[in-house]
Amino acid sequence: MQTISVMPAQGGWRVVSDTIDNDLMFRRGRSAERAAVRLAEAAAQTGELVRLQVQLADGSMARRFICPSKASLGDDLEWSGLTASA
């Protein structure tokens, strides 16, 4: 399972992924979260199961999502992107 995380950084927010060598930096958390969701959905479309974690400015966990791979859903179900996870 690939992990993509959105976390606070000095002067903004960063997106960290198992598959990206360099962190992506953003001034706004919303922009970082959007980029992380796009990365997760793109990976899921190629068959990866993805965990997306979003932290608050204090570093605590805000929310966590699992983005199932399209292949894991089978032929009868339509892929619809991220699903909330506890």
pLDDT by residue (tens digit) across 28-74?
A: 999 999 999 999 988 888 888 899 999 999 999 999 988 887 666 55
CA distance 81 to 44: 8
Alpha carbon of 9 to those of 14, 16, 25, 40: distances in Å? 6, 11, 8, 20
How many domains, the chain? 1
Structural domain boundaries enclosing 35 = 2-85
- Higher pLDDT: 77 or 68? It is 68
Give pLDDT, residue 82: 53
Give pLDDT, residue 71: 66
pLDDT at 86 > cutoff 90: no
